[in-house]
Amino acid sequence: MPRGRKDKGLKQLGTRQYCSNHTPGGYPNGLIHFWGSPTPIPDTPDFPVILTGSAADNEKNYYTTPYDVGWGDLVKFDEPDRRYIGRDALEKIAAGPKRACVTLEWNAEDVGAVVAAEITDPEMDLQERILGFNEQLPEFTRQHAGYVLKNGEKVGVATGRVIDYYSHSFLSLAFVDESAAVMGDEVEVLWGKPGTRQLRIRATIHEVPYWNGEYRNETCDVCALYPERPYLK
């Protein structure tokens, strides 16, 4: 850590935390939390995309709408003559039930049980290691989505799992039915691709963003807080 930063209360966490901040920060990111292209998911020798997770039985699970990720206020219908790709579909979504973006705090013991099963259970899919996402972010050619279950029913998908080294939690974002987005409720994430051994991981619903304390861009001018910034000289 460059000289002069510790006196500002900063704590060095490492590069893995840097790559993981989109999830606890509540900022859905293409190629981490959803397929980040307007084009269909490619599957070519030059760019093979592997769909992983229990939601891999339907490619549509890897796409989101602006409402899913909490950006519905950016959708405009106030100009009737202004047409754009997807407008008709968005108007239908806006008028009906929508999904909400929430944070899931995964049960650490259940996550550990999946890690243990990957070592001892020959039926586990080793191409889908639960901690692999934290080793190389983002997984540009691996799109992961796991079904979120509430009372045994599918209510959405969980994506972008990370170890948050600041809060010592295992987190993901999830896009769930609005009726299921109840803070504090317990749900389950179904781990494992269809046709392989699947395990259920308990998780608790939290708000987005999970980290909503000091030093967020919305509430803090970092340049004013640290005007000298010797590392820029």
Three-class DSSP labels, the chain:
CCCCCHHHCCCCCCHHHHHHCCCCCCCCCECCCECCCCCCCCEECCEECEEECHHHHCHHHHCCCCCCCCCHHHCCCCCCCCCCCCHHHHHHHHHCCCEEEEEEEECHHHHHHHHHHHHHCCCCCCCCCCCHHHCCCCCCCEEECEEEEECCEEEEEEEEEEEECCCCEEEEEEEEEHHHCCCCCEEEEEECCCCCCCEEEEEEEECCCCCCCCCCCCCCCHHHHCCCCHHHC
The pLDDT value given to residue 138: 47
pLDDT band at 1 (very low <50, low <70, confident <90, very high): very low
- The dihedrals phi and psi of 76, each to the nearest 5 degrees, come to -120, 130
pLDDT band at 183 (very low <50, low <70, confident <90, very high): very high
Q: What is the mean pLDDT of residues 9-36?
A: 79
Residues 162 and 19: their CA atoms lie apart, in Å, by 9
Indicate if the pLDDT at residue 223 is higher than 90: no
Indicate if the pLDDT at residue 176 is higher than 90: yes
Length of the chain as a residue count: 233
Q: What is the mean pLDDT of residues 42-71?
A: 85
The pLDDT value given to residue 136: 43
The pLDDT value given to residue 212: 80
Indicate if the pLDDT at residue 226 is higher than 60: yes
The domains located in the chain, with CATH, are 15-206 (2.40.30.110)
Residue in the structure block whose two tokens are 């749900």: 187
Q: What is the mean pLDDT of residues 50-74?
A: 91
Indicate if the pLDDT at residue 159 is higher than 90: yes
The pLDDT value given to residue 134: 46
Residue in the structure block whose two tokens are 């000298």: 228
Indicate if the pLDDT at residue 118 is higher than 70: yes
Q: What is the mean pLDDT of residues 48-64?
A: 89
User: Where does residue 59 rank: exposed (0-12), middle (13-18), buried (19+ CB within 10 A)?
Assistant: middle
Q: What is the mean pLDDT of residues 3-27?
A: 72
> In the numeric block, which tokens belong to residue 58?
């339907």
Average pLDDT in the chain: 84
pLDDT band at 231 (very low <50, low <70, confident <90, very high): low
pLDDT band at 85 (very low <50, low <70, confident <90, very high): confident
Q: What is the mean pLDDT of residues 149-165?
A: 94
